[in-house]
A and B are shown apart, each in its own frame.
Chain A
Amino acid sequence: MTDAALDKLGEIREFVKSAAHNYALDEVPISDLILAVDEAVTNTIVHGYKGRGGAIQVHFEFDGAAAIVRLRDEAPGFDPCSYLNMDLKDALEKDTPGGFGLHLIKKSVDELSYRIPEEGGNELTLVKRIA
Chain B
Amino acid sequence: MSSTLGISVSEENGVSVLRLNGSLDANTQNNLEEKADEVIQAGASNMVLDLDEVTYMGSAGLRALHIIAGKFGGADQSERFAHLKLLNPSAEVRRVLKTLGFDNYIDVFDNLDDAINSF
Residues of A within 8 A of B (CB): 6-11, 13-14, 17, 31-32, 34-35, 38-39, 42, 45-46, 88-89, 92-93, 95, 97, 100-101, 103-104, 107-108
Contacts and interface: CB of A to CB of B under 8 A. Distances in A.
Interface string B47-66: 00000000010111011001
B63 A97 contact: yes
Interface of B: 1-4, 23, 25-27, 56, 58-60, 62-63, 66, 70, 76-77, 92, 95-96, 99-102, 105
A39 B99 CA distance: 14
Contacts of A32: 95
Nearest to A45: B26
Contacts of A31: 92
Q: Which 6 A-B pairs have the closest CB atoms?
A: A10-B3, A100-B59, A6-B27, A88-B101, A14-B1, A101-B59
Contacts of A34: 56
Contacts of A11: 3
Contact of B59 (A6, A39, A45, A89): A39
Contacts of A7: 3, 27
B3 A39 contact: no
B99 A92 contact: no
A62 to B, nearest CB: 19
Contacts of B99: 103-104, 107-108
Contacts of B76: 93
29 contacts: A6-B3, A6-B25, A8-B3, A9-B25, A9-B27, A10-B2, A10-B23, A10-B25, A10-B27, A13-B56, A14-B1, A32-B95, A34-B56, A35-B58, A38-B25, A38-B58, A42-B25, A92-B101, A92-B102, A92-B105, A100-B62, A101-B58, A101-B60, A103-B59, A103-B99, A104-B58, A104-B59, A107-B99, A108-B99
A95 B70 contact: yes
Contact of B26 (A35, A42, A92, A104): A42
